[in-house]
C-alpha cells in the first residue's frame, strides 16, 4: 500500500511487516498519481509540480 500526503511525500506500508515501511520525499507539490511496476521493484509518481519520479523500492531512492 502507498499513502501520499498533500505536501508531496509518500510512504509505502507493508501491512504484514511494518518494519518494511519506506518514506519517499522528492516532489515540491502534491502527488497526483502513483503506479507500481509489474515487478513491484519500482514506483512511478507524478505531481502538480510537473515532475515524475521513478522510485527504486529496494533502495528508497528516486530519480527525475
| Annotated domain spans of the chain | 2-63
Give dist(CA 13, CA 27) in Å, integer.
Answer: 19
In terms of C-beta density within 10 A (0-12 exposed, 13-18 middle, 19 or more buried), how is residue 36 classed?
middle
pLDDT in tens, 11-61: 555 556 665 567 777 888 888 888 888 988 888 889 899 999 898 877 766
Residue 54 contacts residue 42 (beta carbons within 8 Å): yes
User: pTM for the complete prediction?
Assistant: 0.65
Give dist(CA 28, CA 33) in Å, integer.
Answer: 14
- Residue 52 is predicted with a pLDDT of 92
Amino acid at each position: 500500500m502507498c499513502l501520499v500526503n498533500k505536501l508531496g511525500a509518500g510512504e509505502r506500508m507493508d501491512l504484514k511487516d511494518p518494519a518494511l515501511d519506506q518514506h519517499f520525499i522528492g516532489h515540491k507539490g502534491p502527488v497526483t498519481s502513483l503506479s507500481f511496476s509489474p515487478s513491484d521493484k519500482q514506483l512511478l509518481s507524478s505531481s502538480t509540480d510537473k515532475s515524475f519520479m521513478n522510485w527504486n523500492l529496494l533502495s528508497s531512492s528516486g530519480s527525475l
